[in-house]
């Protein structure tokens, strides 16, 4: 019985406690090897016993293969090949008529034939053409001549010549809206526009690239020869006048230089980045791309009756100086722009309402990739300056993290981390300083009024070129603070010298102990890191100094823009007068300045929305970095 046998097995399997306590010996043994697949290898080790014999056999085989090529002892012959049975058969067919046709092929025809998808289809006859319609001769307007063709073969020859299958009437109809909205048309228009711009600006672009300008030869005539002689006489007179004019001592770098060897620097305008979209806006900030030196980002803002309108952030390229490559429309005025170091396609934009946005210049969409409008720690005042900075304790550049540093009118300096969303933390809070005015004799003590805000508005900052943990901060009160990133609000020193808002501070790229500052008090001050009083004060005009920039290739030269003038200073030549002071012919006041990276050019932005590109002529070339630092210290009295 099945049930009885199962119960009996359970009773037999039950063990007593004595049996469980007994010692049981278990022996383990290895089973035989089971070979599922045995495939001998075709390789042999060089240390094997038969290795020499196998190598000798391989060598003989290689010699036989080489000798077989040109040897007469070998002959290639096919064997075991069955020949097909031949059959002779006569057929009848219509007379084969031939036709000759010639045409002219241009380079454009060859280019269109390579891209059949975009080539326009040639007009073909309908497949339903009757025998009577097809008997008509082809049109005589085509290039070349055509031999008459019988009616039965006319349609087939026309279709063969066109190399395009016949299309239906619906496919032949044009769709203007689809053509205008196609991406291929937009791309072709961009390329065509760049070609036209290159033809128009070719001489000026060659000057910018420091390439010799090609001048087209002109056929001389009698009138031209007379004009040339007159021009030569005028040039000689101008040269004589230049030789007679005395040269100021401040222009000479060395007293041993003769006046004939001195060349006065000059500016020549090449072109302006401007269009109808930017007119009426004020240029607030400019920044070069870190990888592509031909790509320039410009921020625009506009003020009308103290009401701020929408702003723009445009990316200009040398390939088209008349229209920007990218246009990002912002709800508020743009006050600062800067390209990322690690991701050069990211453009950070600061706005007048305190918002910070990051755009991807690879995309033609003007929507921001990241926006700080939803951040709880966003700025409540205008973001006057922002900059991408790599900070970290790692020895290599890969260990350093890139952060976006911003300074705002709300008195905060923040660092933003670029993640799935923008979020910031305070790097520094700028506190107001009590005024240290001396009390006149007999004057009563005045009660100090409590300020509206305990924080002073931040205007600008600049990180040390060699130590990113040290930075300068310029405030609306006119003070400059030297701070450290190692501790929050850790101020290393305070520099007092300005009596108005500090618009810009800039470390010297070569002599890293020096820095410049400009202010609304008409002054530009040169500072030393160890001195809390200015070393030199530069004052040449009775208007504000809006922006300053050190030349990238010299520790002596810097540019400063006033409302109506641009000045080029060379500290090795003079600390009293600029080597070049030029009044621009722009409609608005100058607002910003920037040196070109790979050219001897200067960019000037004004309040009318124009960014002028100016060529610097006869500017002194820099020497070695050590020589520059020594001369700068000696000129400032730091070296006895």
Give the per-residue pLDDT at 474. 94
The confidence score (pLDDT) of residue 421 equals 82
pLDDT of residue 218: 60
Q: 473: helix, coil or strand?
A: strand
Across 35-55, average pLDDT: 87
Chain mean position to CA 245: 46
Structure token pair of residue 195? 């070609």
Phi–psi pair at 349, nearest 5 degrees: -130, 125
User: To the nearest whole number, what is the mean pLDDT of the chain?
Assistant: 78
Other Cβ atoms closer than 10 A to 271: 18
Sign of CA dihedral 622, 627, 630, 631: negative
State percent of the chain over pLDDT 90: 33
pLDDT at 478 over 70: yes
- Write the secondary structure of 34-73 as one string of H (helix), E (strand) and C (coil): CCCCCCCCCCCCCCCCCHHHHHHHHHHHHHHHHHHHHCCC
What average pLDDT score do residues 532-547 get? 89
What's the rounded mean pLDDT across residues 293-317? 83
Gyration radius of the chain's alpha carbons = 42
Q: Give counts: helices (H), strands (E), the chain.
A: 12, 30
Q: What is the DSSP string of 575-623?
A: SSS-SEEEE---SS-EEEEEE-SSSSEEEEEETTS-EEEEEEESPPPP-
User: Could you report the per-residue pLDDT of 498-535, keeping only the tens digit for each?
Assistant: 999 999 999 998 888 899 999 999 999 999 988 888 99
What is the per-residue pLDDT for 238? 61
Do residues 605 and 590 make contact, with C-beta atoms less than 8 angstroms apart? yes
Nearest-angstrom CA–CA distance, 201 and 211:
13
Collapsing DSSP to helix, strand or coil, 547 comes out as strand
pLDDT tens for residues 480-503? Answer: 999 988 766 678 899 998 999 999
pLDDT at site 399: 59
230 pLDDT band, cuts 50/70/90, is low
Report pLDDT for 220: 56
* Among 126-135, 331-340, 403-412, 612-621, the least confident range: 126-135
Residue 161: pLDDT over 80:
no
Give CA–CA dist 610/541, Å, rounded: 23
Highest mean pLDDT out of 8-22, 33-47, 111-125, 377-391: 377-391
* 3-state DSSP helix/strand/coil % of the chain, to nearest 5: 20, 30, 50
How much is the pLDDT for 394?
46
CA–CA distance from 322 to each of 141, 196, 563 (Å)? 43, 11, 25
Q: Per DSSP, which regions of 376-500 are E strands?
A: 383-391, 401-408, 412-418, 422-429, 458-463, 470-475, 479-484, 490-496
Whether residue 172 is predicted with pLDDT greater than 50 in this model: the reply is no
Most confident region among 4-8, 123-127, 179-183, 614-618 by mean pLDDT = 614-618
Residue 600 has pLDDT above 60, yes or no: yes
Determine the average pLDDT of the residues in 452-474.
86
Among 114-118, 158-162, 315-319, 368-372, which stretch is predicted with the lowest mean pLDDT? Answer: 158-162
pLDDT band at 456 (very low <50, low <70, confident <90, very high): confident
More confident of the two residues 201 and 169: 201
* Pick from 12-16, 102-106, 227-231, 258-262: least confident: 258-262
pLDDT of residue 125: 44
Average pLDDT over residues 558-584: 90
Mean pLDDT of 397-421: 84
pLDDT greater at residue 455 or residue 339: 339
Q: Give me the mean pLDDT over the 417-423 stretch.
A: 83
Q: Are 578 and 568 in contact (CB under 8 A)?
A: yes
CB-count burial class (<10 Å; 0-12, 13-18, 19+) for 342:
middle
Cα separation, 345 vs 363, in Å, equals 9
Q: Provide the 8-state DSSP code for 192.
A: H
Maximum average pLDDT range among 389-393, 427-431, 623-627: 427-431
Whether the full predicted model's pTM is greater than 0.85, yes or no, is no
Range of 29-43, 101-115, 546-560 with top mean pLDDT: 546-560
Q: How confident is the model at residue 443 (pLDDT cuts 50, 70, 90)?
A: low
Q: What is the pLDDT of residue 69?
A: 74
Mean pLDDT of 76-80: 70
Give pLDDT, residue 445: 54
């Amino acid at each position: 019985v099945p049930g009885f046998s199962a119960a009996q097995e359970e009773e037999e399997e039950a063990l007593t406690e004595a049996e469980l306590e007994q010692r049981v010996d278990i022996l383990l043994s290895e089973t035989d090897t089971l070979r599922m697949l045995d495939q001998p290898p075709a390789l042999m080790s060089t240390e094997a016993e038969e290795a020499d014999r196998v190598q000798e056999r391989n060598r003989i085989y290689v010699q036989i293969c080489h000798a077989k090529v040109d040897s007469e002892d070998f002959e290639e012959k096919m064997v075991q090949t069955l020949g097909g049975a031949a059959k002779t058969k006569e057929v009848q067919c219509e007379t084969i008529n031939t036709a000759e046709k010639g045409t002219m092929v241009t380079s454009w025809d060859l280019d269109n034939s390579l891209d059949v998808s975009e080539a326009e289809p040639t007009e073909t006859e309908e497949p339903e053409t009757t025998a009577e319609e097809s008997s008509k001769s082809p049109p005589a307007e085509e290039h070349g001549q055509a031999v008459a063709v019988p009616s039965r073969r006319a349609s087939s020859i026309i279709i063969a010549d066109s190399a395009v299958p016949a299309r239906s009437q619906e496919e032949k109809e044009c769709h203007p809206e689809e053509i205008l909205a196609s991406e291929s048309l937009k791309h072709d228009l961009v390329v065509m526009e760049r070609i036209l711009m290159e033809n128009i600006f070719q001489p000026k672009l060659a000057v910018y690239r420091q390439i010799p300008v090609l001048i087209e030869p002109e056929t001389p005539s009698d009138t031209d020869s007379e004009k040339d002689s007159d021009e030569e006489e005028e040039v000689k007179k101008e040269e004589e006048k230049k030789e007679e004019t005395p040269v100021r001592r401040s222009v000479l770098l060395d007293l041993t230089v003769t006046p004939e060897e001195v060349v006065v620097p000059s500016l020549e305008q090449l072109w302006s980045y401007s269009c109808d979209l930017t007119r009426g806006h004020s240029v607030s900030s400019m920044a070069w791309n870190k990888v592509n030196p031909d790509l320039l980002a410009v921020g625009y803002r506009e003020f009308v009756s103290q009401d701020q309108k929408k702003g723009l952030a445009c990316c200009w390229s040398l390939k088209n100086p008349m229209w920007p490559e990218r246009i990002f429309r912002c709800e508020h005025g743009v006050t600062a722009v800067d390209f990322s170091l690690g991701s050069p396609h990211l453009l950070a934009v600061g706005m007048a309402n305190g918002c910070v946005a990051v755009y991807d210049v690879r995309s033609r969409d003007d929507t921001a990739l990241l926006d700080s409008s939803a951040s709880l720690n966003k700025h409540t005042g205008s973001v006057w300056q922002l900059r991408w900075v790599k900070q970290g304790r790692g020895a290599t550049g890969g260990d350093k993290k890139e952060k976006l540093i911003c300074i705002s009118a709300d008195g905060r300096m923040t660092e933003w981390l670029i993640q799935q969303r923008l979020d910031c933390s305070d790097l520094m809070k700028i506190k107001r300083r009590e005024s240290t005015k001396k009390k006149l004799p007999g004057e009563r003590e005045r009660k100090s009024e409590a300020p509206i805000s305990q924080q002073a508005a931040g205007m600008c900052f600049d990180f040390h070129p060699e130590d990113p943990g040290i930075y300068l901060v310029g405030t609306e009160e006119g003070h400059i603070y030297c701070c450290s990133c190692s501790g929050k609000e850790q101020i290393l020193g305070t520099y007092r010298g300005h009596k108005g808002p500090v618009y810009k501070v800039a470390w010297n790229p070569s002599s890293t102990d020096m820095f410049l500052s400009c202010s609304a008090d008409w002054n530009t001050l040169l500072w030393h890191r160890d001195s809390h009083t200015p070393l030199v004060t530069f004052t040449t005009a009775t208007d504000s100094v809006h922006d300053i920039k050190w030349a990238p290739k010299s520790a002596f030269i810097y540019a400063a823009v006033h409302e109506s003038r641009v000045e080029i200073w060379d500290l090795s030549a003079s600390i009293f007068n600029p080597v070049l002071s030029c009044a621009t012919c722009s409609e608005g006041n100058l607002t910003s300045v920037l040196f070109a990276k790979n050219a001897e050019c200067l960019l000037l932005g004004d309040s009318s929305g124009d960014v002028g590109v100016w060529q610097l002529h006869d500017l002194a070339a820099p020497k070695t970095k050590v020589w520059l630092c020594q001369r700068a210290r000696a000129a400032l009295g730091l070296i006895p």
